[in-house]
Amino acid sequence: MKNKKEFRNWLDALALNHPLVIAGPCSAETEEQLLEIAHQLKDSKVSILRAGIWKPRSRPGNFEGVGELGLKWLQTAKKETGLLTTIEVANATHVELALKYDVDILWIGARTTVSPFIVQEIAEAVRGTDKTILVKNPVNPDLALWLGAVERFYEVGINKLGVIHRGFSTYEKTRYRNNPEWQIPIDLHNHFPDLPLILDPSHIAGRRDIIFDLCQTALDLNYDGLMIETHNNPDKAWSDADQQITPLALKEILSDLKVRKTEGDQIEFRNQLSTLRSQIDLIDDQIMDMLGKRMKIVDSIGGMKKKNNVAILQVKRWNQILERMIELGGEYTLSEDFVLRIYKAIHQESINHQKKVMDD
């Protein structure tokens, strides 16, 4: 699949002068709940109402969605507010019902994207329709799998497409529910600049307080849209209560966000510069993270050397590292001098760390 200008026609047709905003509850719970939220979102920057109809839960026994009934409520909400509608579909039966109730946009969830069989089944079910399909990243950080799912829809004739970045599962507990791994959607965007890229900060965050920061990072990286879980009474939500925000909180976030426009040469230049600098900031964060992790291992080696009464400096090992890194650096167009200077500094810090462990 190659980048195609037509991917973003559906988005351009909305003629927005700000990022696309999709909002609505994690799950449709009752007709009153859905209609109340829809009306609160009506006169805002929100264009599309989302609602979970079938909920894929990690463990059985939790609320699994209201099913077909919710599609009727969604239709009423659309009629009363004029908002477009979107739901997650996870099998061919869901697609059939979504078509029956004329849902505008269908999204493929992260747990579905991982399975080429089920993605193909859904793709066959939308063949011949003019639906817009948004594909969430798979739960595991695999760009080829993500793009493969998009491609399956393209191959059945769907060309109104987009992707949603909802973060990646981790075993380790971090500040995020799902790790953003910004480099992956950035890579995707570099290869497919016309495939609309939408951030789902709710699932990355898993909590309310960092949703704004995630949205601002996305806009700084030139994302096209945001999908934010919004509930009239978030604390009482039947699913994902911690990450949902009220329509009022959403409006405040949307008005505080700095939206970068691409108008004229100078502004375009400044936008591109700030996109690249945001990418550098993210990479710098990763470099620090890696250096910190390296030093933790060095500390353990220091502890072992102390116990076994072994010297800190190990010339043979050190020379092997230098040789390997100079060669690897060459493959990344880094000069020998640069690699040497960096690695000498790392080695010195490593010796200082071990000395501290030994002296303690």
Sites of contact with ligand ISJ (CB under 6 A) = 298, 301, 312-314, 317-318, 321, 347, 350
Q: Is the Cβ of residue 145 or residue 312 nearer to ligand ISJ in the bound state?
A: 312
Q: Is the Cβ of residue 273 or residue 321 nearer to ligand ISJ in the bound state?
A: 321
Task: Please give the Cα distance from 226 to 215 (Å, whole number).
Answer: 7
Shortest Å, Cβ 346 to ligand ISJ:
6
Shortest Å, Cβ 297 to ligand ISJ:
8
Q: Is the Cβ of residue 265 or residue 360 nearer to ligand ISJ in the bound state?
A: 360
Q: Count other Cβ atoms within 10 Å, centred on residue 229.
A: 28
Find out whether 183 and 193 touch, Cβ atoms under 8 Å.
no
Question: Which residue is nearest to ligand ISJ, using beta carbons?
Answer: 350
Q: Is the Cβ of residue 63 or residue 318 nearer to ligand ISJ in the bound state?
A: 318
Cα 202 to chain centroid distance, Å, stands at: 10
Q: Is the Cβ of residue 33 or residue 354 nearer to ligand ISJ in the bound state?
A: 354
Which residue type occupies 162? G
Shortest Å, Cβ 287 to ligand ISJ:
16
Shortest Å, Cβ 343 to ligand ISJ:
8
Give the single-character DSSP code of 8: G
Shortest Å, Cβ 291 to ligand ISJ:
11
Q: Count other Cβ atoms within 10 Å, centred on residue 37.
A: 27
Burial of residue 111, with CB atoms counted within 10 A of its CB: 0-12 exposed, 13-18 middle, 19 or more buried:
middle
Find out whether 136 and 150 touch, Cβ atoms under 8 Å.
no
Burial of residue 226, with CB atoms counted within 10 A of its CB: 0-12 exposed, 13-18 middle, 19 or more buried:
buried
Residue at token pair 């990355």 = 204
Find out whether 90 and 118 touch, Cβ atoms under 8 Å.
yes
Shortest Å, Cβ 288 to ligand ISJ:
17
Q: Is the Cβ of residue 259 or residue 291 nearer to ligand ISJ in the bound state?
A: 291
Shortest Å, Cβ 335 to ligand ISJ:
21
Of residues 135, 127, 82, 145, the one with CA closest to residue 105: 135
Task: Please give the Cα distance from 138 to 147 (Å, whole number).
Answer: 10
Q: Is the Cβ of residue 145 or residue 301 nearer to ligand ISJ in the bound state?
A: 301
